[in-house]
Structure 1
Amino acid sequence: MEKFIDYILQFGNLNKQQIDLIRSKGAEIEICKDEYYWEAGKTVKQIGFLTDGVIRVFYYNNKGEEITRYFIDENHLILSGNTVDEVYTPSEYLSAITDCTLVVFTKKDWKEILDTIIGWDAIVQKIVTKHHSEKITRRSELISQDGTERYLDFIQKFPTLVNRVPLSYIASYLGITQSSLSRIRKNIR
């Protein structure tokens, strides 16, 4: 919980009562490697903040192949839908690549925090804007790069993930085959 509190305080000020309210509403959970945080087609009922571990966001294409969209690592908020009141049923899966620890809030408790703490919405919006900007930057460059450039860029942008994520997931994220990624890795050593 302290990692979450420390993180949100980078985006706005909260007094002791507000922090105590947040602490009282959140719960820490652990997800083991290969378990789902959420699954496509199942309604999401909570908001999460990843304090430890790596989660992969993926979907299945029309050929039944898993396609990795992106990775979520520490200090990322995992929201469900555009508003806390929205019933959100995702079309993708969030699966733990490593053992993970999250601080989670029910949508009801998140709404209570939102309704009680003046400025909470602004703090959350700053966090969402930061994460969205990071995601767009990471993905947009992949379109114009060849496989080697994509991998080198991945290493630069995700230095902590290279040794924590299986190569098959990295290859899927980069839009190349695992054998191509092995060749690229061999050539740049």
Structure 2
Amino acid sequence: MYEVFQNYLNNKISLTDEEADLIKSVTIIKKLRKKQYLLQQGDVWGYNAFITQGCLRTYSVDEKGMEHVLSFAVENWWIGDRESLLSGEPSRFNIDAIEDSEVAIIRKVDFDRLCREIPAFNDMVNLILQKSFVASQNRIHSAISFTAEEKYLNFIQKYAGFALRIPQNMIASYLGITPETLSRIRNQSAKK
């Protein structure tokens, strides 16, 4: 499935054959079965990962065993623990596959080299980071400002396809509401 990653890059930036070959030479394709971890809490994250197929989630588990979903990611999205990547400290998060998935991963040292040696790749990465920051701001704003119903409607509007791929209990966790509240909101929305 490297072709998916290559097509993504070709749609974002122009690369010489040598640059494309360099990226391919440092990219590892990893298959994940449903519920298989890409990262476990306590491990140090040392990669940049691009999803070529499937759906993953980033989450933490509190002392009571409750899961708290930070994010979901699907095809053509990047995923990882930026804090652990940059600090070299153990991750506070888990990343696992919600469905059978495949990711293209690049070790940090190789990714940094690509950013140094391929200006267009570096520009693409910076744009992705900027968009990610804006998405995080919007997520924080909705989490502290919206009602439960507004959170759900905002989620459905932004990520319409997710509702069909992601179990409702995970969506509820992402929204910071109980599964029962989500069920009630969904039933009320269906009646409107």
Contact 2:4 2:52 (C-alpha < 8 Å) held by counterparts: yes
Q: 2:162 corresponds to which residue?
A: 161
C-alpha separation in 2, matches of 1:141 and 1:115: 36
**Alpha-carbon displacement from aligned partner over 1:142-163 (angstroms, at most 9, x marks no partner):** 3211111111111111111001
* Percent identity for Structure 1 against Structure 2: 30
List aligned pairs for 1:1-150, cutoff 5 A: 1-81=2-82, 86-150=87-151
Deviations 1:48-91 (A, max 9, x none): 10111111111123433111112112212235546977524211
- The CA distance in 2 between the partners of 1:149 and 1:58, in whole Å, is 22
TM superposition score normalised by structure 2? 0.87
Other structure's SS at 1:176 match: coil
Deviation at 1:42, TM superposition (A): 0.5
C-alpha distance in structure 2 between counterparts of 1:124 and 1:150, whole Å: 29
Q: Deviations over 1:93-151 (max 9, x none)?
A: 11111111111112233233234324432221112212332233234223211111111
Give the AA of the match of 1:50.
I
Question: Once superposed, what is the RMSD of the aligned Cα atoms?
Answer: 2.2
Q: Residues of 2 paired with 1:9 and 1:88: CA distance?
A: 33
Q: Higher mean Cα deviation, 119-128 or 84-93?
A: 84-93
Q: Which runs of 4+ in 1 moved over 4 A?
A: 82-86
What is the aligned length?
189
Compute the TM-score of the two structures, normalised by the length of structure 1.
Answer: 0.88
Deviations 1:4-40 (A, max 9, x none): 2332344433211101111121121111110111011
Partners in 1 of 2:89 and 2:82 — Cα distance? 5
Which protein is richer in helix relative to its size? 2
What letter corresponds to residue 154 of structure 2 in structure 1?
Answer: D
More displaced 10-residue stretch of structure 1: 153-162 or 66-75: 66-75
Q: Structure 2: how far apart are the matches of 1:55 and 1:10?
A: 23
